[in-house]
């Protein structure tokens, strides 16, 4: 390795400059080259691609403001990383760790190849409060229940404090023949063409590190008070909206943790909010131990579930035309904004897997395509939790009644009224069950696609038989 050889900072799900351990490592060793590889072997959903376009553009802008740039390459990851390392005479490649099985294998293969070339390869913890292998039971095994896992995390003390943007960040020059191979965010073809379905996403979100911290600051100052009481009410602006920023690494869990702690000892609201951050980490820790979580039940006894095939019902659910207002409101919010309130996510997932008896994997795939925060760990983990086949899952006999859920968590109907305009004129007493009106459901609103009592009975029979099998 030659003196002052550049270090390649390989960005992935950590598109930020502050509290980026790998970037701090790179900056401390000499000139830096910042790289992002868009690999077709890791497909992403449409909403994720829309966000990634803005995220890469924002990161590139932040780097340009400091005299650098983001080198974007498209293609298989290993050839791209090794080619760039050879062309620039790099001394090292550094990155922050990922926890899914395929991603870990790619990282391991690249680390081996780099070291074979005589280059250094260093990985860092940058996307969780604590690494998955650091939180273990007394027997050294992984936790399968969230509460004792979270208790163990809290017993470990606070996570390391976040580090600032490197004070000295020097960039290595990019030769013309290298620049010719680089892409721009626009060149990756991430945005929808025709039809342009992303208008609602543009109205709702601003990708990037700066926007993430503005959202965090606003949440802490304006919404944290009352969070524990209001977070389950989709008609109230009570949640943080940080999930897509966490997904793309514009803000780190450590930054969030310490920002809450900087306000003093957390009260019930702060404790509740940090517990949600912990739930995300629990999902990632589970993905580390169960890399096939998106395709196989975490509780194998439920692999025998007799899931139905119903493309018409699945499509009605996807389009928000089930005839059940709280379900339809959630699915329409998802399509318009790329996001859905957490309470409503549970309701729509229960409706699909219990009342329609459709495979949770169909729902997971739809969310993966339409959510801007389609985190590989959280998405599959939460779908399995609702379906009843995941770790620490809701029991199979817990079936959310969408009418009762709507009446309880959207009592005035504000949330439904916003997303289901066909019934916006109804009052809070009728809006969650419009078919009970003397005149029936308003014209233009679809009839119910399943009888709740019949769907519930069918689900209970199926789940009981699967357990027996």
Residue among 95, 257, 317, 383 flagged as catalytic: 383
Residue among 83, 197, 307, 435 flagged as catalytic: 307
- CB neighbour list of residue 107: distance below 8 Å, 6 or more residues apart: 95, 97, 98, 123
Q: What are the Cα distances from residue 316, in Å, to 225, 294, 327, 368, 439? A: 38, 23, 11, 18, 23
Residue among 131, 276, 407, 422 flagged as catalytic: 276
Annotated catalytic residue 307: yes
Q: How far apart are CA 391 and CA 389, in angstroms?
A: 7
Residue among 149, 205, 360, 463 flagged as catalytic: 360
Three-state SS annotation for 266-291: CCHHHHHHHHHHHHHHHHHHHHHHCC
Q: How far apart are CA 131 and CA 252, in angstroms?
A: 13
Annotated catalytic residue 385: no
Q: How many CA atoms lie within 13 A of 78 on its CB side?
A: 15
C-alpha 50, offset from chain centre: 14
Per-position DSSP letters for 431-461, written without gaps between them: TT-GGGSTT-SPTTSPPPSS-HHHHHHHHHH
Annotated catalytic residue 149: no
Annotated catalytic residue 276: yes
Please name every residue paired with 330 in a beta bridge, in sequence order, or none if there are none.
none
Annotated catalytic residue 95: no
Residue among 83, 335, 342, 407 flagged as catalytic: 342
Active site residues: 276, 279, 307, 342, 360, 383
């Amino acid at each position: 390795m030659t003196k002052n050889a550049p270090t390649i900072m390989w960005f992935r799900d950590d598109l930020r400059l502050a509290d980026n351990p790998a970037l701090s490592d790179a900056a401390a060793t000499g000139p830096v080259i910042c790289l992002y590889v868009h690999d077709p072997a890791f497909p992403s959903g449409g909403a994720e691609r829309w966000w990634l376009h803005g995220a890469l553009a924002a990161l590139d802008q932040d780097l340009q403001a400091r005299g650098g740039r983001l080198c974007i390459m498209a293609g298989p990851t290993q050839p791209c990383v090794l080619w760039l390392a050879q062309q620039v005479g790099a001394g090292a490649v550094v990155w922050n760790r990922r926890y899914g099985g395929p991603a870990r294998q790619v990282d391991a293969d690249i680390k081996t190849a780099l070291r074979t070339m005589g280059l250094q390869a260093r990985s860092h913890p940058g996307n969780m409060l604590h690494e998955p292998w650091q939180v273990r039971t007394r027997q050294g095994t992984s936790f399968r229940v969230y509460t004792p896992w979270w208790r163990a995390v809290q017993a470990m003390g606070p996570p390391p404090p976040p580090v600032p943007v490197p004070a000295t960040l020097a960039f290595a020059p990019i030769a013309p023949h290298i620049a010719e191979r680089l892409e721009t965010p626009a060149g990756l073809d991430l945005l929808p063409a025709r039809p342009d379905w992303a208008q609602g996403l543009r109205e709702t979100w601003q990708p990037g590190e700066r926007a993430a911290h503005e959202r965090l600051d606003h949440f802490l100052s304006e919404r944290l008070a009352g969070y524990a009481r209001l977070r389950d009410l989709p008609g109230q602006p009570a949640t943080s909206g940080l999930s897509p920023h966490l997904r793309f690494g514009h803000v780190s869990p450590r930054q969030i943790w310490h920002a809450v702690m900087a306000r003093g000892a957390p009260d019930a609201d702060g404790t509740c909010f940090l517990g949600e951050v912990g739930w995300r980490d629990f999902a990632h820790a589970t993905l580390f131990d169960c890399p096939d979580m998106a395709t196989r039940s975490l509780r194998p006894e439920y692999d025998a579930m007799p899931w139905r095939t119903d493309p018409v019902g699945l499509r009605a659910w996807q389009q928000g035309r089930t005839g059940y207002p709280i379900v339809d409101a959630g699915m329409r919010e998802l399509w318009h904004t790329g996001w859905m309130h957490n309470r409503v996510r549970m309701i729509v997932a229960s409706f699909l897997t219990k009342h329609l008896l459709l495979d949770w994997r169909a729902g997971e795939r739809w969310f993966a395509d339409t959510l801007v925060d389609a985190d590989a760990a959280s998405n599959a983990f939460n779908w399995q939790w609702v379906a009843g086949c995941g770790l620490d899952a809701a029991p199979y006999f817990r079936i959310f009644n969408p009418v009762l859920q709507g009446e309880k968590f959207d009592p005035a109907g504000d949330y439904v009224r916003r997303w289901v305009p066909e019934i916006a004129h109804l009052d809070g007493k009728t809006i969650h069950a419009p078919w009970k009106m003397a005149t029936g459901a308003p014209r233009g609103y679809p009839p119910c696609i399943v009888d709740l009592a019949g769907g519930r009975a069918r689900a209970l029979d199926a789940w009981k038989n699967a357990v027996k099998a």
